[in-house]
Structure 1
Amino acid sequence: MTIFEKIEKLQEEKNYVKIKRDVGNKYYALSHGYILGHSFDFVFLKENDDFLFNGFAIFPISSIIKIRHNNYDQFFDAIMEQEGQKKLIEMPYQIDLESWETIFNSIKNTKLNCVVENENNKRFFFKIGEIVKVKKRSLKILNFDPAGYLDDELTKIKYKEISAIGFDDNYTNTMSKYLRGKL
């Protein structure tokens, strides 16, 4: 079974998955949750940690090395069902997964801030904030720091540098209510 076939099957069956992704230079990232959607190029995941949903992630299918849904994950699924959590696995936003450009335009339309990152240790970056401008090959984001201070200037990020994005998670949503300008 190909990765793409696994994605389709696991999404259709609403199965909990662990996805191992290659983020470059022999660095790997793990994503956990339920696949809500996919295109030929991207996966849309409802993230789950310790039986709690915490936002959404989108990343390229080309980065996926392995998708796991074994006995441990099936047991996790059974607990999620008993806890009434599986009924919360739904697509709350219309995200066009055709390209990074359409993805960012879709998220921008939700009015939610997002996280944009490169998880590779050699090229690591983590930007969080409002999507201000979306172009064909890049976007501009108004980043904020862990103290809630907004940057003075927009940050330009090229799509080819992105390993994953996230939005509608507890941290981003809570911090976004308390943002401030620098004095």
Structure 2
Amino acid sequence: MKKDTVLKKLKKHFENKTYARLTRKKGTFEGISTGFILNMSQDFILLQESDEFRILGYIIIPIKTIKHVRYNKNDKTYERILKLEGLLSNVKNKYNIELTNWNTISRDIMKTGLTIISECEHPSLNYFCIGHLKQINNKSIEINYFNAQGIFDKEYTKHKFKNITKLSFDDHYANVFSKYTIKN
């Protein structure tokens, strides 16, 4: 799908508050994100994810990684079921995130104090980092990462903005896990 078409479709979903199925691509990686676009700029969207008839947390996605936007009969049925289940009332933008660039996004997310998940899904890099956002630099963020046992690293993990394909926050997984972390 052409970039102009992607932008038009994203804007339509944002304005109409309709469910969207997004195909994202970076390098040879291709993935799907689904949910509701709560805010957008020329370069980023704020999506409240939905999966398995649940309304989930928030993700920031660079628009340049979105290759296709879908809203077909299957998606309309899924959205109709969410509505009948009374779940659409859970779709709301609780955060004021300025989507100008990664610096403004990171500053606003840092103010929330929430645990984040920063990902680069490109196969040659393929990183997943969960923790607290500690530093914002011109070209990167630094995260106090905690491992699968909930133990924080002593050193911060740096992620370059150019490599981030998805930045999640106020996510059930991250919120629950962060309650049981261990400081070294």
TM-score range, shorter chain: over 0.9
Task: Return the match for 2:7 from 4, 18, 35.
Answer: 4
Task: Return the match for 2:176 from 164, 168, 174.
Answer: 174
* Runs of 4+ displaced beyond 4 Å: none
Unaligned runs of 5+ in 2: none
* TM-score, normalisation: structure 2: 0.95
Residue identity (%): 35
1:130 touches 1:142 (CA, 8 Å); kept in 2?
yes
Matched residue, 2:41: 39
Matched, 1:153 2:128: no
The one-letter code sitting in structure 1 at the alignment partner of 2:103 is: E
RMSD: 1.0
Provide the secondary structure at the position in 1 that maps to 2:173.
helix
- For 2:162 and 2:64, the matched residues in 1 are separated by 12
- For 1:87 and 1:11, the matched residues in 2 are separated by 16
User: How much has 1:16 moved relative to structure 2?
Assistant: 1.1
User: How much has 1:161 moved relative to structure 2?
Assistant: 1.5
Matched residue, 2:24: 21
The one-letter code sitting in structure 2 at the alignment partner of 1:124 is: N
* TM-score, normalisation: structure 1: 0.96
Matched residue, 2:90: 88
The one-letter code sitting in structure 1 at the alignment partner of 2:108 is: S
The one-letter code sitting in structure 2 at the alignment partner of 1:11 is: F
The one-letter code sitting in structure 1 at the alignment partner of 2:11 is: E
The one-letter code sitting in structure 2 at the alignment partner of 1:157 is: H
> Which deviations, in whole Å up to 9, do the C-alpha atoms of 1:109-166 show, x marking residues without a partner?
0110100010112210000100001112111110001110000111111111111111
How many residue pairs end up in the alignment? 181
Matched residue, 2:65: 63
User: How much has 1:51 moved relative to structure 2?
Assistant: 0.8
Matched, 1:137 2:139: yes
Matched residue, 2:75: 73
The one-letter code sitting in structure 1 at the alignment partner of 2:181 is: L
User: How much has 1:20 moved relative to structure 2?
Assistant: 0.3
- For 1:73 and 1:49, the matched residues in 2 are separated by 12
